[in-house]
Amino acid sequence: MKKVFIKTYGCQMNVRDSEAVTALLRERGYGIATTETDADIILLNTCSVRDLAEQRAVGKMNGLAHAKKKAKSGLILGYMGCMAQSRGAELLKSPAVNLVVGTQRFHHIPDYLDQLVAGKKSVVDVADEAGSESAVKHHEPGKVTAFVSIMQGCDMACTFCIVPATRGAERSRGIPEIVEEIHKLVDTGVKEVTLLGQIVTSYGRKKSEFVKLLTAVNAVSGLERIRFTSPHPQGFGDDLVAAYRDLEKLCEHAHLPAQSGSDRILKLMRRGYDRAKYLKIIEKLRAARPGIALTTDIIVGFPGETEEDFAATAELLREVQFDQGYIFKYSKRRDTPAATMPGQLPDAVKEERNQAALEIVNAAALCHNTRLIGETVGILVDGRSTKGAKRMLGRTRTNKIVIFDGYERQAGQLLPIKIERATTVALYGNE
């Protein structure tokens, strides 16, 4: 039996795609290797959103190619996902690479591996496929929390972003098939689902469709919690804000990628909102669900970003006091409008602003987390904190990680935990 190892880079959508491919391969009779050295076939599920992610995957593949040449001539190597989609056959330049599969063709990987195992030298498939949004539906067993893909692609035109090119146009699955998938997951013990897509708030092309989906999922009995990612601030209309008030399973956490606090930069990014509109959404969400946790993504060093523009971003971060923030240094992506905009900034400036922004978000995160010391919070226990570790890990409804002394059998349980210690990224407590 040939054993496959999939290494995943990037976002939760990629993690989900890798899981679905793993499940399909298992069904086809392939073994799943737990380590790279144990594998006959290694696939890299790639990310293109920043250059660093691409470099990591290419570096990894070069290492694997070297090992193949030296000692493992039978090793089958492949790229899948976003970088495979945007670079295509070019990736076969390395003779060690056998397979390149794009973002709409994952479900054909078992067929392609069969062909490669039978002796075919290489396969490249980065075609579009109508209906591919419904192909990512296979799950691995034994989970407490599951990702459910509800759509693929993105029709937005943010000037920095490569995703519309790598994931194609927006295509949504129907509500009944998503709800059916969730029912099945709940039957296997799943307690929490995260609805996934590149832009979930555009689900069904109309905002209210997404709220209809949330309402339908909220009605699934046995399910305890609903999350979703990634949304666009523009999608937070009054109906979605009301859902935070009305749907008891929808967790009190919203990820609202601001990207910048400067109106001038937001316009250049073509984000479709300004600072005032963004802050209004925050205000409405906090009113609808007091205590809601808010997180964000920020890009620093976008072309033409002045000290004044960055100061506006820093000010936004201080004003909102996010529970967590992810700061990214602007990375030039091929064929995006921002790549050729004037005022590209040197890395030193990006790095300086990255550090400054991080300091603000870390201070706010620590402040939010420290406030919970001495409180008893409700968590859903996910499993061991890391593979083989003694301590267990769960999450609050606000999506904060809680690490505590517990037992494997508690996985899937909702438990009260008293918090004793806090860092910027996690809470620690005892049962």
Chain residues that interact with ligand 5AD, rule: CB under 6 A: 49-50, 160-161, 257, 259, 297, 299, 328, 330-331, 333
Question: In the complex, what is the shortest distance from the CB of residue 49 to ligand 5AD, in angstroms, rounded to a whole number?
Answer: 5
Sheet (strand 293-300) strand order: 253-255, 293-300, 324-329
C-alpha closest to that of 226 among 182, 276, 180, 286: 182
Q: Which is nearer to ligand 5AD, 161 or 357 (CB)?
A: 161
- Distances from the Cα of 205 to the Cα of 165, 173, 199, 218, angstroms: 18, 11, 10, 20
Sheet (strand 192-196) strand order: 145-149, 192-196, 225-229
Contact 113, 76 (CB under 8 A): yes
Q: Which is nearer to ligand 5AD, 125 or 323 (CB)?
A: 323
Q: Which is nearer to ligand 5AD, 52 or 127 (CB)?
A: 52
Question: In the complex, what is the shortest distance from the CB of residue 299 to ligand 5AD, in angstroms, rounded to a whole number?
Answer: 5
Question: In the complex, what is the shortest distance from the CB of residue 84 to ligand 5AD, in angstroms, rounded to a whole number?
Answer: 18
Q: Which is nearer to ligand 5AD, 13 or 186 (CB)?
A: 13
Tracing tokens 């190892």 back to the chain, one arrives at 5
Q: Which is nearer to ligand 5AD, 328 or 404 (CB)?
A: 328
Task: Say which amino acid occupies 290.
Answer: P
Find the distance separating the first CA and the last CA of the chain, reported in whole Å: 43
**Strand locations in 222-309, DSSP E?**
225-229, 253-255, 293-300
Q: Are strands 414-422 and 426-430 parallel, antiparallel or unpaired?
A: antiparallel
Question: In the complex, what is the shortest distance from the CB of residue 196 to ligand 5AD, in angstroms, rounded to a whole number?
Answer: 13
Question: In the complex, what is the shortest distance from the CB of residue 124 to ligand 5AD, in angstroms, rounded to a whole number?
Answer: 25
Q: Which is nearer to ligand 5AD, 104 or 296 (CB)?
A: 296
Question: In the complex, what is the shortest distance from the CB of residue 146 to ligand 5AD, in angstroms, rounded to a whole number?
Answer: 21
